[in-house]
Every structure is written in structure tokens, then in C-alpha cells.
Amino acid sequence: DAGITQSPRHKVTETGTPVTLRCHQTENHRYMYWYRQDPGHGLRLIHYSYGVKDTDKGEVSDGYSVSRSKTEDFLLTLESATSSQTSVYFCAISADADNSPLHFGNGTRLTVT
């Protein structure tokens, strides 16, 4: 299995509070991604990174920011959490742009009350 660790695995937070989710990889892969999974919507890309300090927006980026200061770490921040951000968040990595499959972390279940 690809070495991807997401933390925390579960989190409950209140509306309006900032939240940071962490993804750590040991594969030295260039590309990292944050997805959210919601019933009826499948997986939707939030942000991705194609290198240290190189990031770009995905389909549902509003309300989220990311940072990648090291190859192995990709942080997802909800600046002011809202109930609509209650979801399961998956981090994924891939070795290159389009040929390599994504390998996913085990997910973080976030509940915003």
C-alpha cells in the first residue's frame, strides 16, 4: 500500500472555527490532491499540488485553502468551517500527471455542527 497518512481520522468542529487537515506521504510523489466525498456527488476535487509551493484549484475550492511546504505534506485548511463542509475528505497522491493512478489515504470524516 502507498504510504499515505491522513490526520485526524475524525473531527467534530463548530461552525466558524478554522480546521486544518493533514496529508503525509512517504512515496516522494510529486502530485498530491484533496477530494471530498458526499452522497450523490461521488468524489470531487478541492485542490491539488504539482510540486512544493505549486497548487491549483479544483472543482469545489471555495472555502478551502491548501499549502505544500514540503514534498511529503499537503495541508487542507477550512478558514471558517460551515455545515456544508461536513464531508469525508480524501487525500491522494500520484507519481505523474495523467498516466499514474491515484493512491488514496484512508480519509478524514469531518463534521461541522
Partner 1 sequence: AQKVTQAQTEISVVEKEDVTLDCVYETRDTTYYLFWYKQPPSGELVFLIRRNSFDEQNEISGRYSWNFQKSTSSFNFTITASQVVDSAVYFCALIGYGGSQGNLIFGKGTKLSVKP
Q: Is the CB of residue 78 less than 8 Å from the CB of residue 87?
A: no
Please state the separation of Cα 57 from the chain's center in Å.
Answer: 12
Minimal distance, residue 36 CB to partner 1, in Å = 12
Give me the least distance between CB of 16 and partner 1, in Å please: 28
Of 1, 34, 28, 3, residue with least CA distance to 95: 28
Cβ closer to partner 1: 46 or 80? 46
How far apart are the C-alpha atoms of 66 and 17, rounded to whole Å?
16
3-class secondary structure, 9: coil
Q: Which residues contact partner 1 by CB under 8 A?
A: 31, 33, 40-45, 48, 50, 56-59, 88, 90, 92, 94, 97-99, 101-104, 106-107
Question: With respect to partner 1, which residue has the nearer C-beta, 56 or 79?
Answer: 56
CB of 25 to partner 1, least distance (A): 15
